[in-house]
Structure 1
Amino acid sequence: MMTRVTYRINATLERFLPEQRLFLKSDTETRFIRLRPATQLIAMTGCAMFVAWTIVATAVLMMDSIGAGSSREQSQRQQAMYEERLNALSQDRDLRADEAARAQERFNLALEQVADMQARLLASEDRRRELETGIEVIQSTLRRTIIERDEARTKADEVAQALAASTGSVRSEEGRQRDTVDTLAILTEALGAAAQERDLMEGAAQKAAERAEEIMAEKREMERQNDVIFAQLEEAVTVSMEPLDNMFRDAGLSPDDLLDSVRQGYSGTGGPLAPISLSTSGSRATPEATRANAILQGLDRMNMYRIAAFKTPFASPVNTPVRYTSGFGGRSDPFGRGWRRHEGQDMAGAYGAPILATADGVVIHAGWESGYGRLVKIRHEFGIETRYAHLSQIRVNVGDRVSRGDRIGDMGNSGRSTGTHLHYEIRIGGEAINPMTFIKAARDVF
C-alpha cells in the first residue's frame, strides 16, 4: 500500500521534477545516486526554509541594532536635557545667591544711613532743647528787669514824697527837683538798657524760632527718607523670606516649630539681632523704632531659616549626572520577590562618583549592613536621619561631624543591588519619607 502511494507521488512530481542521477566515477568503477522527485522536493523545501530562516534572523538582528541605536540616542538626548536642566538650576541658584548678597549689602548700607540719620536727629534735638533753654533764660531775665524797673520807680516816688514832707523851703524844692531829674535820668538809662536788652532778646528769639523751623524741616525730610528706606528694607525682607518659608512647607515641615528649635539650641557667635531702642527714659518707642525692630525681627527669622536649612537635608547627595531609577513607594522587587515597599530614591550614576552629605550632622553608622551593603547613616537636627547605601567606599567614621557638601563615600554596587547606584533615604522620627520632596522643595531656593 505504501509503495503504491509513493509511486503515485513520484509519478505526479516527475512532471515537474524529473528523476535525476548523480554519477560518481573512480578509477575502477562508476556509481550513481538516484534523486527521485520526492527527494528533490524535500531538498528544495529544506533549502527554501533555510534561506527564509536566514532572512528572518537577519531582519531581527537589524531591527534590534536599529532599536538599540534609537535607545542610545534617546538616552543621550535625555542626559543632555538633564544636564541642561542642572546647568539652568545652577545658574538660577547662583543668581539667587547674588541677589541675596546684594540685598544684604543694601540692608547694611541702609542700616548705616539709618544710624547716621538717627545721630543727626538726636543732635538736632539737643540743639533745639538748648535754644529753648536759652529763650526761657532770656524771658525770665527780661521779666526780672521789668519788675526791678517798676520797683525802682515806686521807691523813687516814695523818696520824693518823703523829701517834700520833711522840707518846705524853695531850696529844698529845687533840690527835690534836681534829685527827681537825676532819678529820672537814671531810670531812663536803666529803661533804655532794658529795652535794648529786650530787643536783643527778641532778635535772638526770632533767630531761634527760624532755626527751629529749619530743624523741623530737616526732621521732616529725614522722616521721609527713613520711610523710603524702611519700605525698601521691608520689601527686601518679605521677598527673601517667602521662598524659604515655602521651601519648608513644601517639604512637610512646620517653619515655626523648626525656628523654635533653632532658637533653643543656637549657641553660635552673635546670636539674634537685638532690637533698636531710641528712648532711654522708658517712654513709648517711636514709629521708626517699631519699624526697625520689625525689620530686625525679619532678619533674625531669615538667619534662623538659614541655620535650619543647613541642618535639614535640602540638597542632592550627588553633584554628578545621574538617572533617577526606582522611586519612593511600592515597586516590583528586582530579584523577583514580588511587590515590595521601597523606602528611598535610587540614583544610578558612574562607579566611584562622590556621595555628599545633604545637611550638617553626626555620623551614627559607617559600615556593612544586610541589604544596604556599605551604608552611612547621618543624624541631623529635628529628628531627621539620612541613609546612603550600596557604596563602593566609605570615607567617614562613626562620631564624625559632617557639613553639607562633605564627601562621605563613593557610589558603588555593594549589598543587594543590580547595578551601580545610590540608595538615598530620609527618615523623620524613624519613619521613611520621600527624599524627592526635600530635593524638589529646595530647587527654587538653592
Structure 2
Amino acid sequence: MKSTNKVSDFVRRVFPERQIYHRSGGTVRYFTVSPLQQIILAGAAAALVGWSLFASATVIFGQNAFNVGSASSEVSRLERWVQDFKAKEALATSQLDQRTEAFQDATLEFQRRHETLATMLEALQTGGELEASALRGNSASLLVTASIEEADVRQSQRLAQVESRLPRVGLRGDVSKIRDEQDVFLDEIEDIAVERAEAARGILQLTKVGAGRISSGENMGGPAVSFSTLMSGQFATPEEERFAVRVAQVAARMEEARYFEDLVNNLPLATPIGIPSRVTSPFGMRIDPFRKRPSWHGGIDMGAGWNAPIVAAGPGKVVYAGTKSGYGRVVDVDHGGGFVSRYAHLKRIVAKKGQEVEIGDKLGTMGSTGRSTGPHLHYEVLFHGKQYNPVEFIKAGKHVHED
C-alpha cells in the first residue's frame, strides 16, 4: 500500500495536472492535460526517439557490414583475375616455347635444304662424286649420290645465273617465299640437267647408235632412294617429305645427265691418226681387193703413209694388244658403255694390255700386217660387238668440237 502511494506521489510530482491557456481574438481558452495524458505523450516521445536511434544505428552499422562484404568480394575477384592472368601467362609462355622450337626446326630444315641445293649446284659445276643427305643429316633414309661432269660451255652462263640465285634462297624472309624460291631453284637445276642429258643424247644420235639402244640404268650410281621409305611417314612434316621426293627426282635427272655425258666424253670421236689422213675405203659393202667381188667391210680404211702415228680416238682401256687373223697387229680399246674401238694392220704396237689411255695417246704405227694390200689403218667402232660406221663418230666429234 505504501509502495503504491509512493508511485502515485512520484507521478503527481513529475506529471502534475497542467492547464494550457490559449488566447485568440480576445477569447481565452484553456486545456487541461491530466497526468495520464502526459504519461502517454512522454511514452510516445520516448518511443519515437528510440526508434530514431535504432534506425540510425541500423543504417550506420549495416552499411559498414555491406562495405566489408563488398571489399571481400572485390578481393576474391582480384585473386581470380591474378590466377587467370598467371594461367594465360603460362599458356603464352608454352606457346612461345612451341613457336620458338618450331622456328628452330624450320630454320634447320631450310638450312638442310640450302646445303642440299648448294651441293647439287656444286655437282653441276665441278663434277666430282658427292653424297648429300637431303634432309636428315647422317641418319637420313634418303641418300642422294650424284655426279655430273663439268658444265658445257653453252650452259656456263645459265649455271652462273642459277648460282647467283643461291644466296637469295637462304634463311631470310617469309617462310612460304623461301620454300617457293627453293622449289624454283630445284626446277632450274633440273632444267639444266635435262638439257645436258638431251645434248649428250643428241651426240649419240649423230653416231647412228642412238640413245635408245643404250640403257641409262646400266653402270649408274645414285640416287640410292627407297621410295617406300619416302612414303612411310618417317618425315617430320608433309612439306619435308615433298621436298625429299623432289630432291630425289632432280638427283635422278642429274645422274641421267652424268651417265650420258660420261658416255659421250669417253666415245671414240676423234680421228685415229695423229697426222692428216684420208679415207681410202668406206664402211659397208665394197669390192673385196682380194676376191674382186662385193663383200662386207666392217670398218673404214685410212691412209697416211708408213709409220704414221696411230692414236686413241677416245679415252679408255686397252683390252687387247696383239695379233688377230686377218687384222695383223691390232689394238682394241674399251671406252665403256659397250663401246670398243679397233686399230688394225699396225706395223708396231706400243700400247700394253690393261693400259689406260686418253684421247690422242699413241697406240702404234701404221703398217700393212695381216690381210692388207699396203700401208693403211683399218679402223672399227663396235657397240656390244656390232660394227658401226666410224665416219659417223668422227663427224659427231667434229660437231662437239665446233660447239
Q: TM-score, normalised by structure 1?
A: 0.48
Contact in 1 for aligned 2:203/2:264 (Cα 8 Å): no
Give structure 1 stretches of 5+ with no counterpart: 1-168, 264-270
Q: Which residue of 2 aligns with 1:425?
A: 380
* Cα pair distance change 1:303/1:336, threshold 3 Å: same
Give the 3 Å change call, closer, same or farther, for CA 197–444 of structure 1 in structure 2.
farther
**Alignment-mate amino acid for residue 237 of structure 1:** A
Question: Contact 2:204 / 2:211 at 8 angstroms: preserved in 1?
Answer: yes
Q: Which has the higher helix share?
A: 1
- SS of equivalent residue, structure 1 residue 437: helix
Offset, 1:298: 0.6
Matched with 1:272 is 222
Q: Distance in 2 between matches of 1:335 and 1:206?
A: 94
Q: 1:363 maps to which residue?
A: 319
Counterpart selection for 1:302 from 257, 260, 284: 257
Contact 2:342–2:379 at 8 Å: present in 1 too?
yes
Q: Distance in 2 between matches of 1:431 and 1:437?
A: 15
Residue deviations 1:122-167, cap 9 Å, x none? xxxxxxxxxxxxxxxxxxxxxxxxxxxxxxxxxxxxxxxxxxxxxx
Counterpart of 1:392 (choices 322, 347, 363) is 347
Judged with a 3 Å threshold, the aligned counterparts in structure 2 of structure 1 residues 362 and 261 are, in CA distance, closer, same or farther, namely farther
Which residue is 1:71 aligned to? Answer: none
Check whether the contact 1:262–1:308 (CA below 8 A) recurs between aligned residues: no
> Alignment identity in percent?
25
- Give the match's secondary structure for 2:311: strand
Structure 1 position 349 matched with structure 2 position 304 = yes
Whether the 8 Å contact between 1:385 and 1:426 is mirrored in structure 2 is yes
2:187 equivalent in structure 1: 231
- CA shift at 1:240, angstroms? 0.8
Deviation at 1:301?
0.9
How many Å separate the matches in 1 of 2:274 and 2:214? 30
Distance 2:193 2:275 in 1: 34
CA shift, 1:325, in A, is: 2.2
In structure 2, do the counterparts of structure 1 residues 426 and 352 end up closer, same or farther at CA, with 3 Å as the change threshold? same
The 1-side partners of 2:96 and 2:87 are apart by 14
> Structure 1: how far apart are the matches of 2:397 and 2:91?
70
Question: 1:434, 1:256 → 2: CA distance?
Answer: 16
Distance 1:175 1:383 in 2: 108
Q: How far did 1:344 drift? A: 1.0
Residue pair 2:274, 2:308 contacting (<8 A) in 1 also: no
Look up the SS of the partner of 1:364 in the other structure: strand
- Is 1:259 matched with 2:216? yes
Task: Provide closer, same or farther for how the CA distance between residues 172 and 228 of structure 1 changes in structure 2, counting only shifts above 3 A.
Answer: same
Count of paired positions:
267
Paired residues of 1:364 and 1:377 also in contact (CA < 8 A): yes
RMSD: 4.6
Which amino acid is 2:347 matched to?
S
Q: Which runs of 5 or more residues in structure 2 are unaligned?
A: 1-57, 107-171
TM-score when normalising by structure 2: 0.52
Q: 1:427 to 1:220 in 2, by over 3 A?
A: closer
Q: Which is higher, the Rg of structure 1 or of structure 2?
A: 2
- Partners of 2:186 and 2:177 in 1: CA distance: 14
Aligned residue number for residue 128 of structure 2? none
The one-character-per-residue Cα deviations of 1:391-430 (angstroms, maximum 9, x if unpaired) are: 2320123x42434424322233444445543210123454
Q: Is the 8 A contact 1:243 1:444 kept in 2?
A: no
- Within 2, Cα distance between the matches of 1:281 and 1:395? 58
Q: How many Å separate the matches in 1 of 2:293 and 2:210?
A: 33
